[in-house]
Structure 1
Amino acid sequence: MSYIKRIIYLLFGTSLLSVGIVMTMQANLGYAPWDVFHRGISDTIGMSIGNVSIVASIIICVIVVLLGEKLGFGTLVNIFVIGIFMDLLLSFEIIPEMQSFVSGLIMLIVGLFVCAYSSYLYIASGFGAGPRDSLMVALERLTKLSVGMCRGTIEVLVCLIGWILGGPVGIGTIISAFGIGICVQIIFSWVKFDATSVKHETLNETIKNFRAYFKRTIKEDV
């Protein structure tokens, strides 16, 4: 995959992911675990949910680095693009809030598939994992527990904290928690994508590769 195509995959994937997240929120059936956490804090301190997501992601990145994981360019893009786009989508009410169970369920399922497809684009770009996935990997290495156990523990914990702070928990929370894995599997099979085949670059590697690409482009133009 060309360098420019990878950048497009990264930027479009992260932007699309924010659309999928907001769709699951506007389904009005209960937020996904991390979004319950973000909304709970948002309502408590009066900060927008997008900004809460950005601040939480930065804190997670600090923890991940302290635990020995390396960040990628995609990790940084993930932090800011998703949070900013979420706030824009919600502020301008581009995606309407559903008012019935059936319409909400349809919105939720479509939103999960949008999240799954955007995850494919993001992962395929090879610019590094998102903050929350990096935390999951770091805890897996630290505790020696399975990746599924680490992910489940994290999501239950943040969902509980968010719920205590007033975050919306409902049937949609359960569907999101268990359904996203199924949607990812369906999408990855559809596009014939093997996530384990992708070698993710660290931030330093991306800087070096970008410099090499830039120099090569200049020589070709000359």
Structure 2
Amino acid sequence: MSASPDVRPAPRSAHAHARRGGRLLVGLVLYAASVALLVRAQLGSMPWAVLSQGLTRVTGWSFGTATVVVSFAVLLCWVPLRQRPGLGTVANVVVIGLLVDPFLALTDLLPDPLPLAAAGGLVAVGVVVNGLATALYVGARLGPGPRDGLMTGLVARTGRPVRLVRGSIEVVVVAAGWLLGGTVGVGTLAYALAIGPVVHVLLPRLSVPADG
């Protein structure tokens, strides 16, 4: 008699990992798309994108290459902070770095220059998509992105409030990017003001429970 096929459900742990992995991947893809939208609007990018823009102008690298280089540089800063990367950390570097250039190429299909109303709409959509993406990949609980880990590591080592540490990091990053030729503008300000509230609303709703 032939053995009957095993139709038992996969262990809960396998379902949990698949669920988290799916949220992580969707979040990172959306994050890359949101970066492209904000850059294409040309009204000022999010802080770390300003730095990547500046590096592309100085070095001639693609935006994606600059993003990967910045990510690895930030990861090196984890060493003295005793931060440990997770699967989500590595995926953050690879997925966003690989996808942001293709998404930017897609946005090149839009009219140039964009009407101001359309550019403002791209900023609004980009901020909301970025907040959704952040809630998804952070909520997957598979390890922080390089920049998130830098922030949490500094908070742990200095005892300073999260808001102060994050704000200080982003001021330094924006200033460096601007000096290198990155675009700073109303979009940068809109992102800085809106991303916190957006993530605050979405993260509790999209986080995977700690036990599943």
TM range (shorter): 0.7 to 0.9
Q: Distance in 2 between matches of 1:174 and 1:95?
A: 26
Task: Report the TM-score when normalising by structure 1.
Answer: 0.82
Superposition map of 1:97-136 within 5 A: 99-136=114-151
Residue 76 of structure 1 aligns to which amino acid in structure 2?
A: V
Residue 88 of structure 2 aligns to which amino acid in structure 1?
A: G
Q: Distance in 2 between matches of 1:67 and 1:41?
A: 25
Residue 142 of structure 1 aligns to which amino acid in structure 2?
A: R
Structure 2 equivalent of residue 43 of structure 1: 57
Q: Secondary structure at the match of 2:142?
A: coil
Asked if structure 1 preserves the Cα contact closer than 8 Å seen for 2:139 and 2:203, the reply is: no
Q: Residue 95 of structure 1: CA displacement?
A: 6.4
- Provide runs of 4+ in structure 1 moved above 4 Å: none
Asked if structure 1 preserves the Cα contact closer than 8 Å seen for 2:138 and 2:207, the reply is: no
Superposition map of 1:1-222 within 5 A: 2-93=16-107, 96=110, 99-188=114-203, 192-193=205-206, 198=210
Q: Distance in 2 between matches of 1:94 and 1:185?
A: 32
Q: Distance in 2 between matches of 1:182 and 1:105?
A: 19
Q: Distance in 2 between matches of 1:98 and 1:129?
A: 36
Structure 2 equivalent of residue 214 of structure 1: none
Asked if structure 2 preserves the Cα contact closer than 8 Å seen for 1:29 and 1:171, the reply is: yes
Map Cα deviations across residues 135-171 of structure 1 (whole Å, 9 max, x no partner).
0011112222111111000100010011111111111
Question: Larger Cα Rg: Structure 1 or Structure 2?
Answer: 2
Q: Distance in 2 between matches of 1:53 and 1:113?
A: 21
Q: Distance in 2 between matches of 1:2 and 1:94?
A: 38
Q: Residue 41 of structure 1: CA displacement?
A: 1.0
Q: Distance in 1 between matches of 2:133 and 2:113?
A: 22
Q: Distance in 1 between matches of 2:86 and 2:207?
A: 20
Task: Report the TM-score when normalising by structure 2.
Answer: 0.85
Identity of aligned residues (%): 32
Q: Secondary structure at the match of 2:130?
A: helix
Asked if structure 2 preserves the Cα contact closer than 8 Å seen for 1:18 and 1:85, the reply is: yes
Q: Secondary structure at the match of 2:182?
A: coil
Q: Which runs of 5+ in 1 are unaligned?
A: 200-222
The aligned length equals: 196
